[in-house]
Amino acid sequence: MSTATPRYRFAPSPTGYFHVGGARTALYNWLLALKNNGIFVLRIEDTDESRNEPQWTQGIIDALAWIGIDSNDPHFEGPYFQSTYAAEHVVAAQKLFDSGNAYYCDQTSEQIQERAKAAGLNGYDGHSRDRGLAPGPGHVLRFKVPAGKTIVHDTVRGEVEFENSTIEDFVLLRGNGTPVFLLANVVDDITMNISHVLRAEEHLPNTPKQQMLWNALGVTPPVWAHVPVLVNEQRKKLSKRRDKVAVEQYREEGILPQAMVNYLMTLGWAPHGDTEIVPWEKIVDEFALESVNHSPAFFDIKKLQSFNGEYIRMMPLEDFISAAEVILTSSAAPWPAERYKPEMFRAMAELVQTRVVVMAEVCALVDFLFLAEPSIDDAAFTKAFGADFATPTLAEIATAFATVEWNAESLKTAVETVGTKHDVKLGKLQGPLRIAITGRSVGPPLFEPIELLGRDESLRRIKSALARAQG
RNA sequence: GCCCCCAUCGUCUAGUGGCCUAGGACACCACCCUUUCAAGGUGGCGGCACGGGUUCGAAUCCCGUUGGGGGUGCCA
């Protein structure tokens, strides 16, 4: 390789949301640009005007920033827009025509199919190769695939050989004169001086065509690298229809960007040693394209969440509190804004931190502190109060709470005393109390929040639950 | 149909001919801890797709089979 600055690129089409597979490809390119002191070029492939919206571009930039690909970083270049290079695409097409590497063809797809069927062959047969057709309405420009074979040198896969006879004379310019993806992509890579094309494996079958184009245009092809695709449980390529693929959605749920990045990087690759949860710096340091796996990887949300839980627990408490507060004070919170008490959450934060896997779960764990009335889980209520001891013991607890010294420790002792008397273990005994206070059968430790709630409110909730149990 | 890619526990992976009785992580199960639920700790379940070679020796190399996936547009 030359000593010139390596130039990588990420070329998404703006289709409305940012795909996790795209995030992974972007990450690979970014990582290599950082590691090899190269440039990460962002090019928006916006030539399909029918599904193109300007705000999607900002969405891509935001999503990239979220996973640490900062458009202000000196390694970042762009965004460029494919649509602004339309003239170059046509010039290149003209060049290919002039040099005899391409020809015009007037065959419709029906005609092509008919002839293929008659001949028992597949695809286009090169019918117009030597007909000397001129450009004209409805005439497409086709590339004249040369004889021989094309060998693609792929950094992750090695040498992949294609027999040129199996590649039909593909279209460069549509009947209306606009360039197709294959051409536009190559021409842009050439004009942007791209040296490394790293993308998902689904592009591998296109690569010989692109390589022929580079050669026909008189430019040395780039270094190719095709990483395996991400698949769902059915081992199919992740799709927007069936699968949860939007990075934005994970972000909203409270997946931490570090967790997402770390997880994505363990798909098809692993850091040295027995630990998968590793800092980005270690990944940059150890990563090598040559060691990327060759087979598709299942995007396992459970494992992502497990990573996320670890990252949440790793956060300093203060950071966790600030991160939680974003959600707690947002419109997603089920209580009126003025009822939110930051000091109450602070007091609970440590107990919450080990109990959430995504940040969005924080709400449900503390909502009873900020809601005027806890939202009661009916099934859990019925179950908890179905026990014989439930009502009498809870009544006694209420009596004790009326006079007990108001702190978590004393509250717990008071409940235990009732338990001893009725021969019910604390674990069971606290069930009805928990429902009365929080509305749920599970949650953070009970006595701390009761202390926070205060005597009056706690007693009110207990009595209200008792009344409900009665009738 | 044709072309291409791929193949280690259910999943993500470590493994580059002897350190493999195949290691780790997620998930699952059990136990411990425990104020429910988590977290944490300990242990368990579970895999080299199959068949041929090559070799003193193969998860690792070769061939084949089978099975998956991707691509085959005047989409990107």
Q: What string of DSSP letters covers A207-259? A: HHHHHHHHHHTT----EEEEEPPEE-TTS-B--TTTS--BHHHHHHHT--HHH
Proximity of residue A99 CB to strand B below 7 A: no
Proximity of residue A350 CB to strand B below 7 A: no
Instruction: Please give the average per-residue pLDDT across A360-365, as a whole number.
Output: 96
User: Which pLDDT score, from 0 to 100, does residue A240 have?
Assistant: 86
User: Which pLDDT score, from 0 to 100, does residue A405 have?
Assistant: 96
Measured over the CA atoms of residue A21, residue A22, residue A23 and residue A27, the dihedral's sign is: positive
User: Is the pLDDT assigned to residue A2 strictly greater than 80?
Assistant: no
Whose CA is closest to A447, among A341, A438, A456, A439?
Answer: A438
| Covered bases, chain B (protein CB within 7 Å) | 1-8, 10-16, 23-27, 35-40, 68-76
- Among A112-121, A158-167, A410-419, whose mean pLDDT is lowest? A112-121
Q: How confident is the model at residue A47 (pLDDT cuts 50, 70, 90)?
A: confident
User: Which pLDDT score, from 0 to 100, does residue A194 have?
Assistant: 97
User: Which pLDDT score, from 0 to 100, does residue A416 have?
Assistant: 96
Q: How confident is the model at residue A400 (pLDDT cuts 50, 70, 90)?
A: very high
What does the block give as tokens for A60? Answer: 């891509």
The residue whose two tokens read 């509305």 is: A439
By percentage, how much of chain A surpasses pLDDT 90?
A: 86
Q: How far is the CA of A26 from the C1' of B60 (A)?
A: 32
Q: How far is the CA of A228 from the C1' of B51 (A)?
A: 28
User: Is the pLDDT assigned to residue A374 strictly greater than 90?
Assistant: yes
User: Is the pLDDT assigned to residue A31 strictly greater than 90?
Assistant: yes
Cβ atoms of A9 and A41 within 8 Å: the answer is yes
How deeply is A19 buried, as exposed, middle or buried, from its count of CB atoms within 10 A (0-12, 13-18, 19+)?
A: buried
Residue ranges in A404-454 assigned as alpha helix (H): 408-422, 426-438, 447-453
User: Is the pLDDT assigned to residue A441 strictly greater than 60?
Assistant: yes
Residue A298, classed as helix, strand or coil, is strand
Q: Which residues pair with A142 in a beta bridge?
A: A103, A171
Q: How far is the CA of A275 from the C1' of B19 (A)?
A: 21
By percentage, how much of chain A surpasses pLDDT 70?
A: 98
Residue A347, classed as helix, strand or coil, is helix
Closest nucleotide (C1' vs CA) to A160 is B4
User: Which pLDDT score, from 0 to 100, does residue A56 have?
Assistant: 83
Q: How confident is the model at residue A259 (pLDDT cuts 50, 70, 90)?
A: very high
- Among A123-137, A166-180, A274-288, whose mean pLDDT is lowest? A123-137
Cα A259 to Cα A262, A276, A278, A309, A426, distances in angstroms: 5, 11, 10, 9, 37
Report the nearest residue to nucleotide B75, CA vs C1': A48
First to last CA, chain A: 82
Q: Which residues pair with A9 in a beta bridge?
A: A41
Proximity of residue A188 CB to strand B below 7 A: no
Alpha-carbon span A451 to A190, nearest angstrom: 68
User: Which pLDDT score, from 0 to 100, does residue A50 have?
Assistant: 55
Question: Angle at Cα A223 formed by Cα A220 and Cα A229, nearest 5°?
Answer: 140
User: Is the pLDDT assigned to residue A120 strictly greater than 80?
Assistant: no
Proximity of residue A110 CB to strand B below 7 A: no
Q: How confident is the model at residue A53 (pLDDT cuts 50, 70, 90)?
A: low
Q: How far is the CA of A236 from the C1' of B68 (A)?
A: 10
Alpha-carbon span A410 to A412, nearest angstrom: 5
Closest nucleotide (C1' vs CA) to A14 is B76
Alpha-carbon span A199 to A207, nearest angstrom: 11
Alpha-carbon span A103 to A131, nearest angstrom: 9
Q: How far is the CA of A451 from the C1' of B70 (A)?
A: 60
User: Which pLDDT score, from 0 to 100, does residue A115 have?
Assistant: 83
Instruction: Please give the average per-residue pLDDT across A29-39, as a whole number.
Output: 97
Q: How far is the CA of A14 from the C1' of B72 (A)?
A: 24
User: Which pLDDT score, from 0 to 100, does residue A1 have?
Assistant: 45
Proximity of residue A235 CB to strand B below 7 A: yes
User: Is the pLDDT assigned to residue A133 strictly greater than 90?
Assistant: no
Instruction: Please give the average per-residue pLDDT across A456-470, as a whole number.
Output: 95
Catalytic residue, chosen from A149, A240, A341, A425, is A240
User: Is the pLDDT assigned to residue A241 strictly greater than 90?
Assistant: no
User: Which pLDDT score, from 0 to 100, does residue A452 have?
Assistant: 96
Residue A368, classed as helix, strand or coil, is helix
Instruction: Please give the average per-residue pLDDT across A19-45, as a whole number.
Output: 96
Mean pLDDT over each residue of chain A, to the nearest integer: 94
Proximity of residue A77 CB to strand B below 7 A: no
What angle separates helix A408-422 from helix A390-403, to the nearest 10 degrees?
140
Instruction: Please give the average per-residue pLDDT across A232-258, as a whole number.
Output: 93
Q: Is A421 a catalytic residue?
A: no
Q: How far is the CA of A444 from the C1' of B43 (A)?
A: 28
Closest nucleotide (C1' vs CA) to A202 is B70
Proximity of residue A300 CB to strand B below 7 A: yes
Proximity of residue A138 CB to strand B below 7 A: yes
Report the nearest residue to nucleotide B74, CA vs C1': A174
Proximity of residue A176 CB to strand B below 7 A: yes
User: Which pLDDT score, from 0 to 100, does residue A112 have?
Assistant: 87
Instruction: Please give the average per-residue pLDDT across A438-456, as a whole number.
Output: 96
Instruction: Please give the average per-residue pLDDT across A331-356, as a whole number.
Output: 95
Between A66 and A111, the more confident residue is A66
**A149-154 sheet: strands from edge to edge:** A76-81, A39-44, A7-10, A196-200, A223-227, A149-154, A158-163
- A316 CB-near residues (< 8 Å, 6+ apart): none
Proximity of residue A171 CB to strand B below 7 A: yes
Cα A422 to Cα A388, A394, A412, distances in angstroms: 11, 11, 15
Alpha-carbon span A401 to A413, nearest angstrom: 11
